[in-house]
Structure 1
Amino acid sequence: MRANTQSPARARRKTGRRHPLATLALIAIGLGVTGGAYTAFNSTSASADTAVSQQTVDHGKKLFMANCATCHGLSAEGTDNGPSLIGVGAAAVDFQVGTGRMPMAMQGPQAEEKPPQFTDKDVKALAAYVASLAPGPGIPEGSVLDGKGNAANGGELFRVNCAMCHNVAGAGGALTEGKFAPSLKGVSAAHIYEAMVTGPQNMPVFNNLNITPDGKRDIITYLKFIQDNPSPGGFELGSLGPVAEGLFLWIFGLGTVVALTVWITAKSN
């Protein structure tokens, strides 16, 4: 009978057993890779904010102090009259100020769109200053705004995620407590994208895990498609859906029938 001359290390390899700390090591490596990827992704999304001059940031700070600090605080930390802007990114400022929603004309259920109070250069300076305070979503650019995505996929994403508030045709709709989802007709591609990534007013935030950048591009493509193509059903009545169409039928349709009946009766008499 031969003696067992295998080494302990070789014997362990044959049994298939792993070291007790191997699982912990794998978990640590996985967390490290995930954290590194997330950090790289955030730094990429904020890269547009860092590529601005200090002069632009200083100009934006002066504008902020003169026009925004009363509500949002001297350091943008927020007050009882306005939320903190730390970490909202340049995209939120470009949307809110670029659409005229900020500064607000008066306190109300939500900020309403109005003509912008600042030039595009000043809007970008304000955005650069707020972006310098903490990382956040940057102003979108490039192919995500070209409107050349998949309109069919964009329509499906829009119906699943947006139509319950904005209407399937993007015509907008009423919400609770005096709030409303605005119409998306005539809204620029950049502002649509910024709204999705920042969640203004009552809108939820759709980050890249909810809807990918390509998905957002497809939604923009769908909205531009339905704006540029007339309704196949004829007069769309504001695209407000069956309620508006039903009222039109009752008021004008039955009204016409009643008027015709009265005319025929008067004629026979």
Structure 2
Amino acid sequence: MAVVVLIALALLLVGGLYSALSPREAQATTATASADDIEEGKKLFLANCATCHGINAEGGAQLPDGSGAGPSLIGVGAASVDFQVGTGRMPLAQSAAQAPEVSKIRFSQEQIDQMAAYIASLAPGPAIPTEEELDTSDLTEEQIARGAAIFRTNCAMCHNSAGKGGALTAGKYAPDLTGVSAKHIYEAMVTGPQSMPVFNNNNISPEDKTAIIAWLVNENDEVRPDPGGLSLGSLGPVSEGLVAWIAGIGLLIGCSVWLGMKSS
């Protein structure tokens, strides 16, 4: 019995230390949400999300037609709901390898906030970023350059070095980040939607997340000229190689034919 008691005490100690020292975004609560907002959010969830995610957001069982297998939402936090619903990815229109972003959002921002408050009330999770975390107005050129370096180290292998997106495996893809709001970029980093990994504050600090967003906004607004000349859509070696074959080698072939005709 002494061994059992010692193991139980050790587990209790580890759990307490984890709760006390875990990253800030993992302890976000619904302190600012009212009971009415949570209740309205629950009603919206039951009417629009429970079919796939379960009555209590515990995850849905897969139906014979392959639908209804939504993951558990307990612990995903308000940021995940705001991202998924705010970009139109959820509710999912049809089963696919990846949920696409859509321009027509089915819910108002107030309704999205209410659903986010309900999900956040079930268990701690990443919170919706504050205005301070999204403010890029005071960042220096050095901080923005650091954001670009961090993006190319952690994100460029999927999203392309210019944030234009790219293909992944099994029909999945990394979306184009052009025109994506700062809030949704931040939420994607802290929640890791679909194939994207989670970048909590231990991986990338809030200041560095803001720097990444500042660089992406500058890149999208074409504040910085392309040092390589024509960007060719920033799509990478495929478009560049195509231009090289058609323009470069085509020009060489044309010159060879012209010289041959001149000599004859």
Same fold, judged at TM 0.5 (above)? yes
Matches of 1:192 and 1:160 in 2, distance apart?
Answer: 16
**Aligned equivalent of 1:82, options 55, 70, 75:** 70
**1:163 Cα deviation from its structure 2 partner:** 0.7
Shift of 1:252: 3.7
CA distance in 1, matches of 2:239, 2:23: 49
Deviation at 1:50? Answer: 2.1
Which of 41, 53, 62 aligns to 1:72? It is: 53
Paired residue for 2:99? 111
Which stretch of the first structure deviates more once superposed, 114-123 or 247-256? 247-256
Report the alpha carbon displacement of residue 39 of structure 1 after superposing the two structures with TM. 6.0
User: Which among 67, 88, 91 is matched to residue 100 of structure 1?
Assistant: 88
User: Tell me, which stretches of 5 or more residues in structure 2 are unaligned?
Assistant: 1-9, 63-68
CA separation of 1:221 and 1:120: change in aligned 2, threshold 3 A: same
Q: What is the aligned counterpart of 1:46 among 17, 25, 28?
A: 28
Task: Give the drift of 1:257.
Answer: 5.4
Bigger mean CA deviation after superposition, 218-227 or 66-75: 218-227
Aligned equivalents of 1:246, 1:36: Cα separation in 2: 52
SS class of match (1:225): helix
Hey, what does 1:8 align to over in structure 2?
A: none
Is it true that 1:238 corresponds to 2:233 in the alignment? yes
Question: 2:186 maps to which residue?
Answer: 193
Distance, in Å, in 2 between the alignment partners of 1:32 and 1:202 is 29
Q: Which amino acid aligns with 2:150?
A: L
Q: Which structure: larger Rg? A: 1
- Counterpart in 1 of 2:37? 56
Point out 4+ residue stretches in structure 1 off by more than 3 angstroms.
30-37, 39-43, 252-269
Are the structure 2 counterparts of residues 73 and 36 from structure 1 closer, same or farther at C-alpha, using a change threshold of 3 Å?
closer
1:101 touches 1:112 (CA, 8 Å); kept in 2? Answer: yes
**Same amino acid, percent of matched pairs:** 56
- 1:4 alignment counterpart: none
Residue range with higher mean Cα deviation, 80-89 or 237-246: 237-246
- TM-score, with length taken from structure 2: 0.81
2-side partners of 1:174 and 1:128: how far apart?
A: 34
Amino acid at match of 1:243: V
Deviation at 1:248, TM superposition (A): 1.6
1:218-243 CA-to-partner distances (Å, cap 9, x unmatched) read 11111112122242333312211222
Once the two structures are superposed, residues 30-59 of structure 1 have per-residue CA deviations (whole angstroms, 9 ceiling, x without a partner) of 97995464269367x514x22111111111
Matching residue's letter, 1:204: P
User: 1:251 is matched with which residue?
Assistant: 246
Match of 1:131 among 115, 120, 124: 120
Deviation at 1:82, TM superposition (A): 0.4
Q: 1:180 to 1:37 in 2, by over 3 A?
A: same
Q: Secondary structure at the residue paired with 2:126?
A: coil
Task: Give, in whole Å, the separation in 2 of the partners of 1:239 and 1:54.
Answer: 48
Give the SS at the match of 1:235: coil
1:215 corresponds to which letter in structure 2? D
Q: Could you say what secondary structure the match of 2:202 adopts?
A: coil
With normalisation by structure 1, the TM-score equals 0.80
Q: For 1:33 and 1:60, how far apart are their aligned partners in 2?
A: 31
Contact 1:50 1:132 in 2 (8 A): no
Q: CA deviation at 1:256?
A: 5.2
Q: What 5-or-longer segments of structure 1 have no aligned partner? A: 1-26
2:6 maps to what in 1?
none
Q: Is 1:91 equivalent to 2:79 in the alignment?
A: yes
SS of corresponding position for 1:82: coil
Q: Does 2:219 align with 1:207?
A: no
